[in-house]
């Protein structure tokens, strides 16, 4: 008898498996319907020997010391600060928009002080910042919004920024200095030997059994277990009882080129041209030295594997219905980006999994105390 059946071997499932096995001596069966561990963070060496991320670029960054120290139990790190260029008006300029972006785009030579004045002169203040359009237009005005955000967002999400929560474009700040890093978190590093190797280390415990190519519904009734941790889409768990929760999908087009470098930045965003949103060149992210180079294009899709919850009020309302049902489902914990319908980065999922583990731990300690 397993103590836990864990559905999904991504960050949420793998970390809970590890904590339950190593800290509470629980017997865990972790299943994934894919043919690999790691969830969307899975990486592998392609047929040319280049380390690539199967499901698009995954860059680790966090401000949480607890999260960083926890993952450091399972990997060494390659220090990496991410940088992105956007293709706008025939030029490649830094995104997040900063001092250099404005100077290059408009052929100016402004100082930080002057660019602050420039933003103040073009910004269109709004009484309430509710949508992804409000966030950008209230900071940098209509023109920059149209050049960098409007079409990228329409392409990525299939709806206008005015229909998306502010939290989506608020992920990308505006700067008046020359800092061109995509993230400013305290910890910015990539697992030295890749994400998959890190997951192998996380799951390497004698109390953990891993079963791949298996939907949990195939084995749920055959293999006995006491409690479940579910990290798949929450609406699917309940057979879409209240209707489908919208998730945005992507199609990835991977290519390898017979030259060491393909583009001048790790990621180039294409807000206005092409059906794809961005192109990632993996060697920048991983630090790998190789005569060839591999890239991936991301083509947003309405249908396909669920990758992004879509943050907007009607979806939050629908999710609330599923959340109420989940809260009333005994013996099942819902964890991770799909099961809690949150646009979470990897570190946020790690933090969420560690929190759920602490809850399980306290519950057990309480039960032991009561039984004594
Ligand atoms: P997942 O990784 O989705 O794992 C869930 C697993 O459950 C999957 O493997 C799935 O196959 C399995 N599953 C579902 N249903 C079943 C079932 N019925 N039976 C068996 N198995 C099932 N985060 C960052 O921090 N930095 C980034 O740069 C970044 N880039 C991203 C780029 C893209 C294109 C995407 C899509 C996401 C990105 N993320 C990034 C987010 C990151 O992928 C997630 O935060 C993280 O992987 C979520 O982990 P999870 O365990 O919640 O879910
Ligand atoms: N975004 C944009 N233009 C850009 C970069 C981002 O419009 O050049 C918007 C877009 O809506 C995107 C969101 O900001 O989905 C968040 O961007 P991020 O790079 O964080 O997306 P992710 O890496 O999660 O796909």
Model pLDDT for residues 209-245, shown as the tens digit of each residue: 999 999 999 999 999 999 999 999 999 999 999 999 9
Task: Determine the average pLDDT of the residues in 282-311.
Answer: 97
pLDDT over threshold 90, residue 364: no
Which atom of ligand 1 has the smallest separation from the CA of 216?
Answer: 19
Q: Ligand 2: which of 152, 157, 182 to mutate, most ligand atoms within 8 Å of CB?
A: 152
Average pLDDT of the segment spanning 48-67: 98
Is residue 368 predicted with pLDDT exceeding 90? no
User: What was the pLDDT predicted at 26?
Assistant: 98
Residues within a 6 A CB radius of ligand 2: 86, 95, 148-149, 152-153, 156, 168-169, 171-172, 269, 271
CA–CA distance, 203 with 343 (Å, rounded to integer): 25
Q: Which of 145, 148, 163, 171 to mutate to test the pocket of ligand 2 (most atoms within 8 A of CB)?
A: 171
Reply yes or no on whether the pLDDT at 367 is more than 90: no
Chain position carrying tokens 């992004």? 308
**Across 288-316, average pLDDT:** 97
Span from the CA of 280 to the centroid of ligand 2 (angstroms): 14
Is residue 369 predicted with pLDDT exceeding 90? no
**Predicted pLDDT at 371:** 84
What pLDDT sits at residue 366? 87
Sorted by where each begins, the domain ranges of the chain are: 1-37+203-246+310-372, 95-170
The percent of residues in the chain predicted with pLDDT above 90, rounded, is: 97
pLDDT at residue 90, as a whole number: 97
pLDDT at residue 86 in the model: 98
Which stretch of DSSP H or E encloses residue 270? none
Mean pLDDT of the chain: 97
Residue 25 to residue 136: CA distance in whole angstroms: 49
Query: Does 189 have pLDDT greater than 90?
Result: yes
Going from the Cα of 87 to the center of ligand 2, the distance in angstroms, rounded, reads 14
Q: Which ligand is nearest to the CA of 195?
A: 1
**Mean pLDDT calculated for residue range 170-193:** 98
235 lines ligand 1 (CB under 6 A): no
Average pLDDT estimate for 25-41: 98
In CATH terms, 1-37+203-246+310-372 corresponds, of 3.30.70.3420, 3.40.50.720, 3.40.190.10, 3.10.20.600, to 3.40.50.720
Token pair, residue 18, equals: 């590890």
* Distance set, CA 30 to CA 6, 21, 204, 332 (Å): 4, 11, 12, 14
Place of tokens 């993952």: 71
Sheet of 187-191, strands arranged across: 61-62, 187-191, 77-79
Mutate to test the pocket of ligand 2, among 97, 137, 150, 172 (most ligand atoms within 8 A of CB): 172
Label residues 7-27 b or e (16+ Cβ within 10 Å = b): bbbbbbbbbbbbbbbeebebb
Q: How far is CA 124 from each of CA 133, 136, 142, 299, rounded to the nearest angstrom?
A: 11, 9, 8, 31
80 has pLDDT over 90: yes
Cα distance between residue 25 and residue 206, in whole Å:
10
Contact 291, 253 (CB under 8 A): no
Residue carrying structure tokens 């798949």? 232
Mean pLDDT for 305-321 is 97
Q: What is the pLDDT of residues 246-285, one digit of tens each?
A: 999 999 999 999 999 999 999 999 999 999 999 999 999 9
Residue 99 CA, ligand 2 centroid: distance in Å:
19
Q: Does residue 246's CB lie within 6 angstroms of at least one atom of ligand 1?
A: no
What's the pLDDT band for 365 if we cut at 50, 70, 90? Answer: confident
| pLDDT at position 170 over 90 | yes
Q: How many CB atoms lie within 10 A of CB 285?
A: 22
Can you read off the two tokens belonging to residue 224? 């006995």
331 and 226 Cβ atoms separated by less than 8 Å? yes
Contact 354, 70 (CB under 8 A): yes
Residue 150: CB within 6 Å of ligand 1?
no
Residues near 121 by beta carbon (within 8 Å), at least 6 away in sequence = none
Reported confidence tier of residue 370, pLDDT bands at 50, 70, 90: confident
- Residue where the block lists tokens 């300029």: 93
In the prediction, which pLDDT does 79 show?
A: 98
Who's near 342: CB < 8 A, 6+ residues apart? Answer: 309, 348
């Amino acid at each position: 008898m397993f103590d836990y059946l864990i559905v999904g071997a991504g960050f949420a499932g793998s970390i809970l498996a590890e904590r339950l096995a190593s800290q509470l001596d629980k017997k865990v069966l972790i299943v994934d319907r894919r043919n690999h561990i790691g969830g969307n963070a899975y990486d592998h060496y392609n047929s040319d020997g280049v380390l690539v991320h199967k499901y698009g670029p995954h860059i680790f960054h966090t401000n949480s010391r607890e999260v960083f120290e926890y993952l450091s139990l399972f990997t060494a790190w390659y220090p990496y600060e991410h940088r992105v260029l956007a293709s706008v008006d025939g030029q490649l300029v830094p995104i997040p928009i900063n001092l250099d972006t404005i100077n290059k785009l408009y052929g100016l030579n402004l100082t930080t002080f002057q660019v602050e004045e420039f933003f103040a002169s073009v910004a269109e203040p709004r009484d309430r910042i509710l949508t992804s359009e409000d966030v950008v237009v209230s900071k940098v005005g209509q023109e920059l919004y149209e050049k960098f955000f409007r079409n990228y967002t329409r392409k990525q999400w299939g709806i206008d920024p005015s229909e998306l929560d502010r939290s989506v474009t608020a992920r990308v700040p505006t700067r008046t200095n020359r800092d061109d890093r995509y993230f400013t978190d305290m910890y910015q590093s990539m697992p030295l030997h890749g994400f998959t190797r890190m997951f192998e280390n996380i799951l390497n415990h004698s109390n953990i059994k891993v079963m791949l190519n298996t939907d949990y519904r195939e084995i749920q009734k055959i293999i006995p277990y006491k409690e479940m941790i579910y990290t798949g889409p929450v609406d699917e768990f309940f057979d879409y009882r209240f209707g489908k929760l919208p998730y945005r999908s992507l199609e990835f087009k991977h290519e390898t080129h017979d030259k060491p470098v393909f583009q001048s930045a790790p990621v180039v965003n294409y807000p206005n041209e092409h059906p794809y949103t961005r192109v990632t060149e993996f060697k920048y992210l991983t630090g790998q030295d190789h005569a060839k180079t591999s890239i991936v294009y991301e083509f947003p899709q309405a249908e396909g594997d669920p990758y992004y919850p879509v943050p907007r009020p009607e979806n939050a309302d629908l999710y609330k219905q599923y959340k109420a049902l989940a809260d009333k489902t005994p013996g099942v914990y819902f964890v991770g980006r799909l099961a809690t319908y949150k646009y979470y980065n990897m570190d946020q999922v790690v933090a969420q999994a560690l929190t759920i583990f602490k809850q399980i731990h306290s519950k057990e300690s309480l039960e032991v105390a009561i039984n004594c």
